[in-house]
């Protein structure tokens, strides 16, 4: 599904693309917030959101071609609150930043960090970080990914930040006189998980939110052996990115999310995807380091 460019539109208050929580159904619009939407968005007639096809559980396309995910459901619920349809483009990661910069997309889901904050504001919606998951037959139940992956058969997603981190960890192994990490890179996270389930690799180095979702989905076949949410550096965060300076829309989106947290809808969505423990119900702004 990589490289797919598709478009789907969902209707405020429901829609035909609901995920496990079916969360947008029955949400009543808040007229005050709907009226506060920027004129350009209201005149256009929809919110524009971009998602990737393989980033379980935040955004992904299932075997039937349906766009699902916690962030997808959450933006659909926002559309219900704001009484406006949500139009979703399914694209590759490299389309996100240019889409926000050009105004093609009102918001996308991105990892929040200081470099990206130069051009975008972030409404953080979940904790993230790194995790190591393993197939159930792997001999260890715990390990320290920073020092104990040397020589271990490890799967990672190609051309991602996690791959860059793993390359650095492997170089540190060799600098200490230990064997390099036995690394295999796969096209997407589904490939990493398949490599573990088939025992082609022993462990997978993957984003924390993705690892938690897959272990929750297959608790008999997979296990979590390490997770780092960045507590020692103040946390790692991901959320909705909005073009820097677009404060009118950012503030409306932020308030709509807070309303969904008050209703319990936000928590319901994330629980449905197995990542309830990673929620950030206060939706902090620009918390990434």
- The pLDDT confidence band at residue 23, using thresholds 50, 70 and 90, is low
CA distances from 62 to 122, 192, 237 (A): 27, 17, 25
* Residue 114: CA count within 13 A, CB half-sphere: 4
- Are 86 and 168 in a shared domain? no
Q: What is the pTM of this model?
A: 0.79
Task: Dump the DSSP string for 223-282.
Answer: EEEEEE--GGGT-EEEEEEEETT-HHHHHHHHHHHHHHHHHTHHHHHHHHTT-GGGB-TT
Q: Please indicate, yes or no, whether residues 55 and 196 belong to a single structural domain of this protein.
A: no
Residues 46 and 86 reside in one and the same domain:
yes
Diameter of the chain measured on Cα atoms: 64
Q: Is residue 35 part of a domain?
A: yes
Q: Are residues 158 and 99 in the same domain?
A: no
Q: How many domains does the chain have?
A: 2
* DSSP strand pairing (107-112 vs 47-51): parallel
For residue 166, what is the domain's CATH number? Answer: 3.40.190.10
Residue matched to tokens 């020692």: 232
Q: Same domain for 240 and 190? A: no
- Same domain, residue pair 123 and 134: no
Q: Could you tell me which residue, 262 or 235, shows the higher pLDDT?
A: 262
Same domain, yes or no, for 63 and 110?
Answer: yes
42 domain-assigned = yes
Average pLDDT over residues 138-159: 96
Residue predicted with more confidence, 95 or 167: 167
- Domain end, chosen from 228, 259, 284, is at 228
Contact 193, 204 (CB under 8 A): yes
Report the pLDDT averaged over residues 260-270: 96
| pLDDT score at 5 | 36
Structure tokens at 193: 């998980």
Q: Is 18 part of any domain? A: no
Give the C-alpha separation, 286 to 254, whole Å. 12
Does the structure show a pLDDT above 80 at 16?
Answer: no
Provide the residue range defining the domain that includes 189: 130-228
In terms of domains, do 244 and 109 share one? Answer: yes
Burial class (CB in 10 A: 0-12, 13-18, 19+), 129: buried
Residues 37 and 153 in one domain: no
Mean pLDDT, residues 166-175 = 98
Residue 81 within any structural domain of the chain = yes
User: For residue 281, what pLDDT band results from cuts at 50, 70 and 90?
Assistant: very high
Q: Answer yes or no: do 241 and 103 share one domain.
A: yes
Find the angle CA(16)-CA(17)-CA(20) to the nearest 5 degrees. Answer: 120
What letter would DSSP give residue 145?
A: T
Q: Would you call 171 helix, strand, or coil by DSSP?
A: helix
CA triplet 200, 204, 207: central angle to 5 degrees?
150
Q: What is the mean pLDDT of the chain?
A: 90
pLDDT score of 22: 60
pLDDT of 233 > 70? The answer is yes
pLDDT 10s digits, 32-76: 999 999 999 999 999 999 998 878 899 999 889 999 999 999 999
47 is a domain residue: yes
């Amino acid at each position: 599904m990589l490289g797919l460019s598709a478009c789907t539109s969902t209707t405020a208050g429901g829609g035909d693309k609901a995920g496990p929580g079916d969360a947008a159904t029955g949400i009543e619009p808040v007229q005050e917030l709907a009226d506060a939407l920027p004129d350009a968005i209201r005149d256009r007639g929809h919110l524009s959101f971009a998602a990737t096809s393989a980033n379980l559980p935040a955004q992904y396309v299932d075997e039937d071609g349906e766009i699902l995910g916690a962030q997808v459901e959450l933006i659909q619920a926002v559309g219900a609150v704001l009484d406006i349809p949500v139009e979703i483009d399914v694209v590759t990661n490299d389309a996100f930043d240019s889409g926000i910069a050009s105004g093609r997309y009102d918001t996308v889901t991105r990892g929040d960090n200081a470099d990206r904050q130069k051009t975008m504001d972030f409404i953080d919606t979940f904790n993230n970080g790194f995790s190591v998951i393993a197939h159930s037959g792997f001999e260890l139940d715990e390990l320290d990914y920073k020092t104990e992956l040397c020589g271990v058969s490890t799967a990672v997603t190609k051309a991602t930040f996690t791959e860059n981190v793993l390359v650095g960890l492997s170089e540190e192994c060799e600098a200490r006189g230990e064997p390099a990490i036995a690394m295999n890179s796969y096209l997407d996270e589904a490939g990493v998980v398949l490599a573990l389930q088939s025992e082609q690799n022993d462990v997978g180095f993957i984003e924390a939110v993705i690892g938690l979702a897959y272990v929750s989905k297959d608790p008999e076949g997979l296990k979590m052996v390490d997770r780092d949410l960045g507590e020692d550096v103040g946390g790692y965060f991901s959320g909705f990115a909005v073009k820097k300076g677009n404060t009118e829309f950012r503030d409306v989106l932020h308030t709509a999310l807070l309303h969904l947290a008050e209703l319990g809808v936000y928590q319901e969505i994330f629980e449905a995807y197995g990542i309830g423990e990673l929620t950030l119900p206060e939706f902090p702004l620009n918390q990434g380091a």
